[in-house]
A and B are shown apart, each in its own frame.
Chain A
Amino acid sequence: MTMPPHPTDATGEAAALVEDRSEAAADGSAMAAATAIAGRSPARAAWMRLRRDKVSLVALTVSVLFILVAVGAPLLSSLGGWGPITPDNNAINPDTGNYPIGSFGGISLNHLLGVEPGTGYDLFARIIYGMRTSLLVGFLSAVLSTVVGVVVGLTAGYFGGWIDTLLSRIMDVMLAFPQLLFIIALTPVIQNSLQTNEHGGTNENLRLLVLVLNISVFAWAYTARLVRGQVLSLREREFVDAARIMGAGWQHILFRQLLPNIWAPILISFALAVPANISTEAALSYLGVGVVPPAPDLGSLLSDSAQWFLQDPTYLFIPGILLLILVLALNLLGDGVRDALDPRANRS
């Protein structure tokens, strides 16, 4: 597929073992194997294809690992002994302008990934909490935009007429927005207006919610257009006519007849939306309008590193490379999902 697979790859071997076992289970009998193949559901077939692709398997493993780290961030950081916003004043040197003590940004047994210059926060804790933010915002906004996009797309495609015209025009407007500029402008405005209604303080969860909403505000239009196109080509098919003749209501036709037929493109667009949203979130935080310090976030870490990287390049490299690995793994997984669900496309 995308990268030359390593024959000695541990995960690949594991996959091969699993394959062997399933073959053994088929009893070596050609008949049994044939019936097993005939009985595979599309989801199972796709899973088999995904599992056979070594790169996707590695990507899946890495993604799951990142998710586990993000979920277990409080536990892991308490094991490390430092929270994301507990300064360690012994790790930075005030005489050198608060640069970390020791080489490579102060990496030691005490601080696995070093410390943040200036503040003395533990980078390991900040990065795992930052991944939590990234993944949370990435997944939630992908879920939200996919749900809205699917509902709008189904409605526009199925009902047609003025409903379709109206919804399609709305999609046109959304897609013509200079999205990044607009999200940059909108996020602080909404965050500030919400804060004045609250207790005047910074509510971190509220900030994340605003981020999720703002990223989804535009993303749904892409899914909606995709789904609408699929529905337009499906709704004249015989099985839809048959359902209608049998007296099925529109809810049944939309959600029970049409939706199951287009779940593959929806899942593909969802899988690719997650890394894209993570990038958007990090970019917003980089520009200072997403998650703001001292709340931990990979984008704002990188933004902060700009003023230190001459003396402390480690502080730039570690969050940057980890963010790259995270997004790359999710992108590879998304590509793998696409190839598995749509084998005819033959992209690899």
Chain B
Amino acid sequence: MLRYLIRRLLAAAVILLVISMITFFIFFALPSNPALLACGKTCSPSRLLEIKHSLGLDQSITTQYWEFFKGLFVGRDYGDASLIVHCHAPCLGISFQTDTPVLDTLLQDFPVDLSLALGAAVVFLILGVGLGVLAAVRKGRAADKIAVGAALVGVSLQIYFVGLLLMYVFVDKFSILPTPNYTPITQDPVAWFQGLILPWATLVILFLALYTRLSRSSMLEVLGEDYIRTARAKGLPARTVIIKHGLRAAITPIVTIFGMDLGSLIGGSAVITESVFGINGIGKLAVDSVTNSDLPVILGTTLFAATFIVLANVVVDMVYGIIDPRVRLA
């Protein structure tokens, strides 16, 4: 088990390395001239050269990557004699716009994504699996048809349309809720909850549909198995058959997808939800950095999100071995 874990973590590190290289080379090699972007609108040629030098952009792209890579482990210093910005390890670079280390900004925004992801995930997992199982058990009847129809509409909905609609109804039209924002839970739990209800609802509507479909089809497949018929035939109560025999087997593919979704949500993939509601999480940071052409932040958010996706992959494989004894790890 431990050897397998180490091997998986090594493979994950390699994938992240490749992703960092691809992202770095794409964004720093394309002719978008990062120095000019960092320099701003009032830019003299001499200042441009200075900036080029202080950001290390006058070196070859491979040297630049090496500096970046080294910075991940030992940190690095930016700037010239007059102003030095120290970027501690693991250094993801410093923002062109704010001159602060990218990782600090990311960690500062991280609680937002964590709150958003965990709050929504708990609800859509429980509701989604519940509805899916219900639909599978009542296959072909009214409850099933309603659940399946609603899920299909949910899958086809655009997340920003749902978000805008909820904003229109709950905030602007009837003023039931405050404009969504993020208050740290340690500061004011009630405001934290109120400010996140609509973003959570939006994410839940989107993912609920996916999880209902997924758990319904997974459950239907399992309910068709011989051992379910055996369990029924030997007179077990329906509840035991469905929960203990059925759901236990049907849950494995759901766990896989859930792990991946949770990982990418925590890593900042709720981009659209965040920008609809104007919540300053990592996703919004990414979109803003694209608008400002802030390359180090773009690179940083991509790597940060990729780390969570890759780690979620490893965790999912570990959990898989626990919940499904057939998949014992080599």
- Footprint of B on A, CB under 8 Å? 1-4, 172-173, 176-178, 180-182, 184-186, 188-190, 192-193, 196, 275, 279, 282-283, 286-289, 299, 302-303, 305-306, 309-310, 313, 316, 320, 323-324, 327-328, 331-332, 335, 346-347
Contact = CB atoms under 8 A, between A and B. Distances in A.
11 contacts: A3-B145, A3-B152, A176-B313, A177-B309, A178-B305, A287-B272, A288-B291, A309-B168, A316-B168, A327-B156, A328-B152
A184 B286 contact: yes
A279 B158 CA distance: 7
A190 B26 CA distance: 9
B158 A324 contact: yes
Contact of B23 (A182, A289, A328): A182
A335 B161 CA distance: 23
Given A178-B269, A178-B305, 18 more contacts: A2-B149, A2-B152, A3-B145, A173-B18, A176-B19, A176-B310, A178-B268, A181-B268, A181-B269, A184-B271, A185-B290, A185-B298, A186-B26, A287-B271, A305-B164, A316-B161, A335-B152, A347-B220
A313 to B, nearest CB: 6
Contacts of B61: none
A240 B164 CA distance: 54
Interface in B151-188: 152-153, 155-161, 164-165, 168, 172
B325 interface: no
Contacts of B301: 178, 181, 185
A279 to B, nearest CB: 6
Nearest to B142: A4
A173 B305 contact: no
Which interface residue of A185, A302, A347 has the most chain B CB atoms within 10 A? Answer: A185
Which 9 A-B pairs have CB atoms at the shortest separation, nearest pair first? Answer: A178-B305, A328-B156, A320-B161, A327-B156, A3-B149, A185-B298, A193-B30, A193-B31, A2-B148
Contacts of B275: 287
B155 A302 contact: no
Contacts of A289: 287, 290
Nearest to B268: A181
A287 B289 CA distance: 12
B32 interface: yes
B109 to A, nearest CB: 13
A316 B164 contact: yes
Nearest to A288: B291
A313 B172 CA distance: 11
A260 to B, nearest CB: 27
B172 A310 contact: yes
B168 A332 contact: no
A196 B32 CA distance: 9
B27 A185 contact: yes
